[in-house]
Chain A
Amino acid sequence: MTRATTLGVVVLDDIAIERARTGDLGALERVYRAYEGLVYSLARRICRTEEDAEDVLQETFLEVCRSIRGFRGTGPGSLTAWVKRVAASKALMRIRRQKYRDADELPEDGSLAAQRPPDVGLQLDLEAALTRLSETSRAVVWMHDVEGYTHEDIAEMMGKTVSFSKSQLARAHTRLRGWLGEE
């Protein structure tokens, strides 16, 4: 029913997916094992803390257990996209619940030339720079640039406008550019 790739990722076949859709907890566990890393990584990149990411992992798979009966896609590829979508929604819901807002604002002149030259002593690696972004900016940059969601998708999931998503992405990159220096 399942096979492991050379990278250790468990790939589900159609039979395993079909059994999971019947509510078979054994098959659902295989779905969990196949996607827990992917879901946790996405959640950890978006959420502020490890605990929040773990809660998103749990909420995502509870939702998968509840709703997989209605999953109409075929094949592991569409299941992956669906699970990721559920995880992204859960992570965004968590951000919304925490009512975290980005307090810092862009300078009036947002052009790159207007930014101060980076202080080498303050330069950060990418992981650290990501954690310094607001949750909203980090979520947008991760979902758009890494997960491949469009601004329309992100706006829909966040309950915001497309321009909000675009401005958050620009804000995130401006910050990362400043913190990372010449990269």
Chain B
Amino acid sequence: MRKHCTMNELLALREGEGTAWAREHLDGCSFCQRELELLHGRVAALRALPAIRPPRDRWTVVREQAAREQRGTRLRRTAWGALALAASVTLMVGVKALNSPDGPMPGAEETAMTPELTELMSRSRDLEAALESYGTDGRVLNARAAGIIAGLEDRIAVVDAGIVQAGVRRDTRGDLVDLWRSRVDLMDALVNAHVTRAAYVGF
């Protein structure tokens, strides 16, 4: 037969729970009543511990990274809008050229959207979505990872500008496919860079 309440039972009694045995025992046991009082006192003392101020100001670091991420997101959103526009112009021109009443216009096949181009654009969009999902990861970038990511973002911006220009100039399909392939490769590397820092954690 047990003599006194366990800590589990005291914690349950504190919450207004606890077994019938524990409640009945508590009523008649000064030892357990004292232990319950000590438990309440300990919790009160924990709550009364003073707040601790951070020894260093971390806002500058947070601000720099937040600003960098905001710039990156804005650049990607702006670029994606321009790319979508360029793609729709390419598609429109290509379809019109192919469906001309006088038969396909010269070079129409070269500017029309192809399954390969559509696939690359779709892959690029998927990678953008993957990047968004990793963007919510709260881990801190070290200087090396930040440098790699910044470099990739810069190269993507250059390729994006090239795609927009190619659309305006109505460059050949081959040029566009090369540009989109470069974009997919760079986006893939960028997602990898983010995934690498989001290492698996487990208890």
Contacts and interface: CB of A to CB of B under 8 A. Distances in A.
Interface string A58-100: 1111110111000000000000000000100010010011010
A25 B46 contact: no
A110 B45 contact: no
B7 A174 contact: yes
Contact of A173 (B7, B47, B140): B7
A50 interface: yes
A40 B53 contact: yes
A149 interface: no
Contacts, number: 137
B11 A170 contact: yes
Interface stretch (B57-65, B105-113, B147-155, B167-175): B57-65
B8 interface: yes
Given A25-B63, A160-B203, A146 B38 contact: no
B49 interface: yes
A50 B55 contact: yes
B6 A112 contact: yes
Categorize the interface residue count of chain B.
Answer: 35 or more
A16 interface: no
B69 A66 contact: yes
A158 B203 CA distance: 9
A54 B7 contact: no
Given A60-B138, A99-B203, A173-B39, A23 B70 contact: yes
Interface string B30-63: 0110010011011101110101111110110111
Contact of B8 (A53, A90, A110, A127): A110
Interface of B: 2-8, 10-11, 31-32, 35, 38-39, 41-43, 45-47, 49, 51-56, 58-59, 61-63, 65-67, 69-70, 135-136, 138-140, 199, 201-203
Given A37-B51, A170-B11, 10 more contacts: A62-B62, A62-B138, A66-B135, A111-B6, A127-B49, A145-B47, A166-B11, A169-B11, A173-B10, A183-B45
**When A and B form their complex, which 9 residue pairs have the shortest distance between CB atoms, in order from nearest?**
A65-B66, A63-B138, A40-B54, A170-B7, A113-B4, A170-B8, A41-B51, A61-B62, A59-B138
Interface of A: 23, 25, 28-29, 32-33, 36-38, 40-41, 44-45, 50, 53-55, 57-63, 65-67, 86, 90, 93, 96-97, 99, 110-113, 126-127, 130, 141-142, 145-146, 158-160, 166-167, 169-171, 173-174, 176-177, 180, 182-183
